[in-house]
Structure 1
Amino acid sequence: MNGFLCEALSKTHDRKRFDCGVSALNAYLARSANQDVKRKVAAVFVMCPQAEPERIAGFYTLCSTSVELTGLPDELKKRLPRYPQVPGILIGRLARDDDFPGLGSLLLADALARCVAASTQIAATLIVVDAKDLAAQSFYEKYGFKTLPNLPSRLFMSMSIAEKL
């Protein structure tokens, strides 16, 4: 993976050195990520340079979610059963250290691959992301995510599209 290794967050990783320029994401990784893992609230994956396996170059979180069927675009709704909720996987946070420009694409690719793999064991129709700002929204849209009609800061990709990627 281009000189990087992606693995589950562990105590060997240096969470305090990570700096993506967003204090809320830095604080989450430094103070809350381990607790989320222990409480089974989120799975946290870190990407580390192979030459510095303790250094976190980027990270993302995954957890289960659902989206109301009525909140999806009509073209997707008509292909789904009429259950009130559609199962999905949420990429809750995704960030790269400022010292590793361009790593966001690699992080997203790894997250999508994990989502596709997980969906073979636990059903998930969608992959959902929360865009914290317009730059994040643009990043996700570049890879095919679409805005949920009722929640403009929340975007989705169908699992079938992710499988093709």
Structure 2
Amino acid sequence: MTIGAGPAIEIFDAGRHDRSRFACGVDALDRYLRSQAGQDARRRVAAPFVLLEPPEPAILGFYTLANTSIRAAELPPAFVKKLPRYPILPATLLGRLAVDASRRGQGFGTLLLLDALRRYLRSETASLAVVVDAKDEAAVAFYEGHDFLRLPDQPRRLFKPMAEIAMLFDPTAS
């Protein structure tokens, strides 16, 4: 996805994208991008996407998407009562999302999140919701600021129903 002549978000390519300078300030996320993202992509366990400012190959931010499932018992009862009575439901895992510390506060986190939501909304794979596992309370606040809901018994696990994501991009969807 290219936004004007500015930043672009594309699938991660370990041979083309420079991840050596990326530093978001969270060691686990920095380490993931440098040493695990390429392996996850090759093994098809996660799809990493990177934010660039062409023509520079340096990564300004990234996120990963993967399929997952969620137990109906984990969801709020009011939400579950509208669903088929399956014990396990399909979902999308937004596994990681990080912005380089030098670019924080410029809206790139929201840009990455919206790209991830739009990308999965266009997918032909069934998904009830996008699920995130927030690293800390700052991450929880970020996702809650984008209308993600906490799971009742897991305060750092949040979700956003696909129906709400559809309405975000097309207010006439229902």
Task: Place the TM-score, normalised by the shorter chain, in its bin.
Answer: over 0.9
Q: Alignment partner for residue 111 of structure 2, among 106, 109, 127?
A: 106
Aligned residue pairs, count? 162
Q: Alignment partner for residue 29 of structure 2, among 4, 16, 25?
A: 25
Per-residue CA deviations over 1:69-126 (Å, capped at 9, x if unaligned) read 01110111011000011110000000000121231010101011011111xx111011
Identity fraction in percent: 48
TM-fit CA distance, 1:67: 0.6
Separation in structure 2 between the aligned mates of residue 20 and residue 96 of structure 1, nearest angstrom? 6
Separation in structure 1 between the aligned mates of residue 87 and residue 49 of structure 2, nearest angstrom? 31
- Structure 2 equivalent of residue 134 of structure 1: 137
Q: Which runs of 4+ in 1 moved over 4 A?
A: none
Is residue 2:140 matched to residue 1:116? no
Amino acid at match of 1:80: L
Separation in structure 2 between the aligned mates of residue 75 and residue 140 of structure 1, nearest angstrom? 21
Separation in structure 2 between the aligned mates of residue 21 and residue 36 of structure 1, nearest angstrom? 22
Alignment of 1:33-72 (within 5 A): 33-52=37-56, 54-72=57-75
TM-fit CA distance, 1:60: 0.1
Separation in structure 1 between the aligned mates of residue 55 and residue 36 of structure 2, nearest angstrom? 26
- Structure 1 equivalent of residue 146 of structure 2: 143
Per-residue CA deviations over 1:14-37 (Å, capped at 9, x if unaligned) read 011101011111110000000000
Amino acid at match of 1:111: A
Unaligned runs of 5+ in 1: none
Normalising by the residue count of structure 2, what TM-score does the alignment of the two structures yield?
0.91
Separation in structure 1 between the aligned mates of residue 18 and residue 78 of structure 2, nearest angstrom? 45
Structural RMSD (CA): 0.9
Q: CA, structure 1 residues 99+51, in 2 after alignment: closer, same or farther (shift >3 Å)?
A: farther
